[in-house]
């Protein structure tokens, strides 16, 4: 058994990273971003360099770069410059789930617009139009629930972890 500086079993941590990444992949995330996210989430500082990620995951710098780019677009990680260095560190947001979910609101709005157009094009009284209208109603419902749910999360997080609401 190899242990890290904290005394953790490195093999057990690696197994967790791969297991959690597999769950994220099953939920629809791309494989490399899932592995990177799990590695960042499981690191004590919540930050790693490209080289550290490559070493931990046994992947190329290009694979890390592509995965980080995807995660940054999803607002799940941030890039930071190391002071006095050209190296970047990648940080998992402490509120990554909040950010990822609330940033879906823009996507939902676009889908709602497309679905409204679909209902109009298909005709609300046709079977396809009714199906499209029900799908639209679902996304409108979800969209209306996100903001209140996130506010409840902020309060819950502050109470449970003593952190300021995000």
Assess whether 63 and 111 both reside in one domain: no
Between 94 and 60, whose confidence is greater?
60
* Reported confidence tier of residue 164, pLDDT bands at 50, 70, 90: low
* Reported confidence tier of residue 102, pLDDT bands at 50, 70, 90: low
* Reported confidence tier of residue 166, pLDDT bands at 50, 70, 90: very low
Domain count, the chain: 2
Domain that holds residue 111: 99-161
Assess whether 62 and 117 both reside in one domain: no
**Nearest-CA neighbor of 80 among 45, 104, 54?**
45
Assess whether 42 and 79 both reside in one domain: yes
Domain boundary (43, 59, 93) is at 93
Assess whether 145 and 70 both reside in one domain: no
* Reported confidence tier of residue 92, pLDDT bands at 50, 70, 90: confident
Strands 47-49 and 77-81, how do they pair?
unpaired
């Amino acid at each position: 058994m190899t242990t890290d500086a904290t005394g953790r079993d490195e093999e057990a941590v690696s197994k967790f990273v791969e297991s959690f990444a597999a769950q994220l992949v099953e939920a629809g995330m791309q494989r490399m971003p899932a592995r990177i996210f799990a590695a960042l989430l499981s690191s004590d500082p919540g930050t790693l360099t490209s080289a550290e990620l490559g070493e931990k995951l046994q992947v190329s710098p290009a694979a890390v770069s592509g995965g980080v780019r995807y995660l940054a677009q999803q607002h799940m990680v941030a890039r930071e410059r190391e002071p006095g260095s050209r190296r970047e560190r990648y940080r998992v947001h402490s509120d990554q789930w909040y950010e990822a979910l609330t940033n879906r609101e823009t996507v939902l709005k676009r889908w709602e617009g497309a679905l409204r157009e679909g209902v109009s094009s298909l005709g609300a009284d046709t079977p396809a139009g009714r199906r499209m209208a029900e799908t639209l109603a679902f996304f409108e419902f979800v969209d209306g629930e996100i903001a209140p749910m996130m506010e409840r999360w902020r309060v819950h997080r502050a109470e449970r972890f003593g952190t300021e609401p995000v």
